[in-house]
């Protein structure tokens, strides 16, 4: 857990800014780009760097690319429909890729362990962690498990939060104009950790985006003893699914729930049963602080430099089993920030319209 304490997270800021800028520099002005892909590359590079430090290259290393491909196979319905280890099937391919991921991660873990230094990254901290009672270090298998979970949980989620937010902003020109006004009144360049506290509209935009299109739309628990829930008797071992998405669209809690309205957060403080994009309770997302800082910095840096224009007449469909992503990516044309926010508004079709009100 110390790797995710506030002080430690703040120390990741400079590295984040450098990686974000190097990815944004690859965007070509007046050309279309799949913003979903750009955000994935960006958060993957941030995750690999903060996780493994200098043990992976600037590009995120082969570990990043391998995990990407496992992630793709994992969320492919063909993998879950035929879960058999038979050559030619997606499931077989996924198992092979996972073995390669393990191999690559073990190589990094062994290399770092042998050096025995604290490089300031998450893996260094996990290697040095000792059980308070037994004094034992994590085994290689435990390290492998933690690193894979943190990597997977820590980049696709933030990438989709960013993609959905940029999409929502592209369809709400007035909110985007107000947000840019706020950013320009506080910032001279990429935000510092202190400046992130002075951007209330940015915070509300992200909160509202994760309310209306939560990157993780559901989670689950297993009952550890017999219990009763809303009049239903649940024996021990029952799987209970919680819809974060439905919770965030309850009209008694959120009037006009399909309206993207960051203003609603000016006077509303929900409890953890009403708003839980990072889940709640003792297993709440360990990376929530990290994610909020990363998302804020990326949005500020993107908006201050570029205007992303939605390409009309494209379908935006929800997709994914664990993380909700746009099925066909998010193609947008990239422009220097010229405040022409009304361009590219409308012309969206697809089932995203069931989740959020959008202009025609």
Q: Is residue 285 part of the contact set for ligand HEM (CB under 6 A)?
A: yes
* Rounded-to-integer distance, Cα 20 and Cα 40, Å: 11
Stretch that binds ligand HEM, among 9-17, 26-34, 215-223, 309-317 (CB under 6 A): 215-223
How many residues sit close enough to ligand HEM to count as binding (CB under 6 A)? 19
Q: Report the nearest approach of ligand HEM to the CB of residue 125 (Å).
A: 12
Q: Report the nearest approach of ligand HEM to the CB of residue 147 (Å).
A: 10
Query: 8 or 65, CB closer to ligand HEM?
Result: 8
* Rounded-to-integer distance, Cα 325 and Cα 334, Å: 20
CA 36 from centroid of its chain's CA atoms: 11
Helix ranges restricted to H, the chain: 6-11, 13-24, 35-52, 61-74, 77-81, 90-115, 122-128, 140-170, 173-186, 200-212, 244-248, 288-305
Helix (H) or strand (E) holding 325: strand 325-326
- Residue 241, Cβ neighbours under 10 Å: how many? 8
Residue nearest to ligand HEM (CB): 287
Q: Report the nearest approach of ligand HEM to the CB of residue 85 (Å).
A: 27
Among 105, 291, 308, 334, binds ligand HEM (CB under 6 A): 291
Pick the closest to residue 42 from 155, 120, 210 (CA basis). Answer: 155
* Rounded-to-integer distance, Cα 247 and Cα 277, Å: 10
Angle at the Cα of 110 from the Cα atoms of 105 and 111, rounded to 5 degrees: 100
* Rounded-to-integer distance, Cα 189 and Cα 324, Å: 31
Q: Is residue 217 part of the contact set for ligand HEM (CB under 6 A)?
A: no
Q: Is residue 297 part of the contact set for ligand HEM (CB under 6 A)?
A: no
Q: Is residue 147 part of the contact set for ligand HEM (CB under 6 A)?
A: no
Angle at the Cα of 44 from the Cα atoms of 140 and 4, rounded to 5 degrees: 60
Site string for ligand HEM, 155-184 (x = CB under 6 A): --xx--x-----------------------
Q: Is residue 215 part of the contact set for ligand HEM (CB under 6 A)?
A: yes
Q: Give the three-state DSSP class for 25.
A: coil
β-strand partners of 201: none
Among 286, 304, 311, 343, binds ligand HEM (CB under 6 A): 286
Q: Is residue 149 part of the contact set for ligand HEM (CB under 6 A)?
A: yes
Q: Is residue 144 part of the contact set for ligand HEM (CB under 6 A)?
A: no
Site string for ligand HEM, 223-262 (x = CB under 6 A): ----------------------------------------
Stretch that binds ligand HEM, among 8-16, 94-102, 245-253, 273-281 (CB under 6 A): 273-281
Which residues contribute to the site for ligand HEM (CB under 6 A)? 149-150, 153-154, 157-158, 161, 215-216, 219, 277-279, 283, 285-287, 290-291
């Amino acid at each position: 857990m110390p790797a995710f304490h506030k002080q430690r997270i703040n120390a990741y800021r400079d590295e984040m800014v450098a990686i974000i800028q190097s990815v944004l520099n690859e965007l070509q002005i007046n050309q279309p780009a799949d913003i979903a892909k750009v955000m994935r590359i960006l958060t993957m590079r941030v995750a690999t760097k903060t996780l493994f430090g200098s043990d992976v290259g600037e590009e995120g290393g082969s570990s990043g690319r391998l995990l990407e491909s496992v992630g793709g196979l994992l969320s492919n319905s063909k993998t879950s429909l035929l879960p058999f280890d038979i050559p030619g099937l997606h499931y077989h391919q996924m198992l092979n890729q996972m073995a390669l991921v393990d191999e690559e991660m073990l190589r990094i873990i062994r290399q770092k362990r042998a050096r025995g230094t604290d490089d300031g990254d998450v893996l260094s901290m996990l290697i040095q962690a000792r059980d308070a009672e037994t004094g034992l270090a994590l085994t290689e298998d435990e390290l492998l498990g933690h690193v894979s979970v943190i990597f997977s949980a820590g980049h696709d989620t933030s990438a989709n939060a960013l993609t959905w937010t940029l999409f929502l902003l592209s369809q709400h020109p007035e909110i985007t104009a107000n947000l840019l006004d706020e950013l320009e009144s506080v910032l001279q360049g990429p935000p510092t950790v202190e400046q992130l506290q002075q951007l209330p509209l940015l915070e509300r935009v992200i909160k509202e985006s994760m309310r209306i299109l939560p990157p993780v739309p559901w989670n689950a628990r297993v009952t550890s003893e017999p219990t009763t829930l809303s009049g239903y008797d649940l024996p021990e071992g029952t799987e209970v699914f919680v819809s974060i998405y439905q919770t965030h669209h309850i009209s008694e809690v959120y009037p006009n729930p399909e309206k993207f309205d960051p203003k609603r957060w000016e006077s509303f403080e929900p409890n953890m049963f009403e708003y839980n994009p990072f889940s709640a309770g003792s297993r709440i997302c360990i990376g929530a602080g990290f994610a909020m800082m990363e998302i804020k910095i990326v949005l500020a840096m993107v908006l201050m430099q570029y205007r992303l224009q939605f390409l009309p007449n494209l379908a935006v469909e929800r997709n994914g089993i664990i993380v909700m992503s746009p099925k066909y990516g998010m193609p947008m044309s990239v422009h220097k920030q010229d405040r022409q926010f009304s361009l590219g508004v409308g012309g969206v079709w697809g089932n995203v319209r069931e989740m959020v009100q959008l202009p025609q």
